[in-house]
C-alpha cells in the first residue's frame, strides 16, 4: 500500500479551526478536514453578520451618514470578538470558519474603514488621499496574511510571552477613526483636515504591520483583590459608551495608545529575563 505524500500529511495536520476570537487565541489542529456541520452554522453566521455590518458601513458613508458608517464598523468588531468564542463554546470550529473570519476581517477592518475615511475627508487630497486609504487597507490585509502564515510556527516569541505582534485589525480600525470621534463631538475642522488624517491613518497602517509587541487582553490576569473594581469599571465604561459614545471611544483609543510603551517595556524585561535564563542554562550545561 502506498503512503500519501508527506506534503499532504503536513497540510492536513496544519489545518486550523475557527473562527478565531482574537489573534492571541491558541490555534487548534485536526488530523483531517471536516465538513461544515449544522452546529457550526451559528458562529459562521455571526462572522457573516460582522462582514455584513462592515460593508454596510460603506453604504452609510456613500449616503453621507458618517456616524452610522463608523458605528457599523464598530459593531463588526464586536461581532468579530464573539464568533470564535461561541464556536469554541459549541465545539463547532471549522477550517471554513477560520478562512471566512480572515476574509471578513480584511473587508470589515481594512477596506471598509479606508473607503469610509476616503469619502469623509481624504478625497479632498485626490491621489495622495487615495494612497493613504490604500496603505491602510493593504497593511490590514498583510497583517492578516502574516497571522495566518504563522499559525503553524512553533517559535513565536511575542505570543509565548503573552503579547501580540503589532496592532490587531479591529483595534487598528477603531484607532483610525479617532479623528472622526473628536470631530463629531467638537466640530473642529482640524480633525477632518485631509493632510492630518492622511498622516494619522498612515501611522495606523504602520502599527498594523509592525513587529512591536502589543498587549493581549486575553493574557491579562488581574489580581483577585481588584477584580470587583474592574467589573465595576467595565460597567461604568459600558454606560459611558451608551451615553457619550464618541468621547468614550476617544478615551479608549487614548488609553490603548498610552499602554503601547508600557507593553514594549514589559516585553523588553521578559526578553532580557529569558536571555539571562538561557545563558545561565548553557553555563550550567558547560560546567
What's the pLDDT score for residue 147? 81
DSSP of the chain, one letter per residue? -PPPPHHHHHHHHT-B-B--SSTTSPP-B-SS--PPPSTTHHHHHHHHHHHHHHHHHHHHHHTT-HHHHHHHHHHHHHHHHHHHHHHHHTT--BHHHHHHHHHHHHIIIIIHHHHHHHHHTGGGGTHHHHHHHHHHHHHHHHHHHHHHHTTT-S--HHHHTTEEES--HHHHHHHHTHHHHHHHHH--GGGG-HHHHHHHHHHHHHHHH---EEE-GGG----GGGHHHHHHHHHHHHHHHHHSHHHHHHHHHHHHHHHHHHHHHHHHHHHHHHHHHHHHHHHHHH-
What's the pLDDT score for residue 209? 93
What's the pLDDT score for residue 3? 44
pTM reported for the whole predicted model: 0.80
Output the tens digit of pLDDT for each of the chain's 287 residues. 444 444 444 444 444 444 554 555 554 443 345 555 667 688 888 999 999 999 999 999 999 999 999 999 999 999 988 887 887 788 777 777 778 888 999 999 999 999 999 999 999 988 899 999 999 999 999 998 888 777 666 566 666 566 788 899 999 999 999 999 999 999 999 999 999 999 999 999 999 999 888 887 766 666 777 777 888 888 888 898 889 999 999 999 999 999 888 888 887 887 777 777 677 766 666 55
Amino acid at each position: 500500500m502506498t503512503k500519501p505524500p508527506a506534503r499532504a500529511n503536513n497540510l492536513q495536520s496544519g489545518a486550523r479551526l475557527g473562527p478565531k476570537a482574537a489573534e492571541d487565541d491558541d490555534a487548534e489542529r485536526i488530523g483531517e478536514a471536516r465538513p461544515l456541520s449544522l452546529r457550526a452554522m451559528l458562529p459562521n453566521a455571526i462572522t457573516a453578520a460582522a462582514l455584513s455590518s462592515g460593508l454596510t458601513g460603506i453604504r452609510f458613508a456613500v449616503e453621507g451618514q458618517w456616524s452610522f458608517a463608523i458605528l457599523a464598523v464598530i459593531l463588526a468588531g464586536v461581532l468579530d470578538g464573539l464568533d470564535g468564542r461561541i464556536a469554541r463554546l459549541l465545539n463547532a470550529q471549522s477550517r471554513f470558519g477560520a478562512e471566512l473570519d480572515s476574509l471578513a476581517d480584511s473587508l470589515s477592518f481594512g477596506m471598509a474603514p479606508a473607503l469610509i475615511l476616503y469619502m469623509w475627508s481624504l478625497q479632498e487630497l485626490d491621489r495622495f488621499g487615495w494612497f493613504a486609504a490604500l496603505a491602510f487597507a493593504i497593511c490590514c490585509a498583510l497583517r492578516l496574511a502574516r497571522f495566518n502564515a504563522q499559525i503553524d510556527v512553533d517559535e513565536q516569541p511575542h505570543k509565548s510571552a503573552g503579547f501580540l505582534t503589532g496592532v490587531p485589525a479591529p483595534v487598528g480600525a477603531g484607532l483610525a477613526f479617532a479623528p472622526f470621534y473628536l470631530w463629531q463631538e467638537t466640530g473642529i475642522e482640524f480633525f477632518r483636515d485631509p493632510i492630518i488624517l492622511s498622516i494619522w491613518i498612515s501611522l495606523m497602517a504602520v502599527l498594523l504591520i509592525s513587529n512591536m509587541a502589543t498587549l493581549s487582553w486575553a493574557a491579562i490576569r488581574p489580581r483577585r483583590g481588584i477584580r470587583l473594581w474592574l467589573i465595576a469599571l467595565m460597567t461604568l465604561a459600558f454606560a459611558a459608551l451608551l451615553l457619550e459614545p464618541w468621547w468614550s471611544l476617544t478615551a479608549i483609543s487614548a488609553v490603548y495608545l498610552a499602554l503601547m510603551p508600557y507593553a514594549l517595556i514589559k516585553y523588553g524585561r521578559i526578553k532580557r529575563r529569558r536571555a539571562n535564563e538561557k545563558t545561565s542554562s548553557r553555563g550550567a550545561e558547560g560546567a
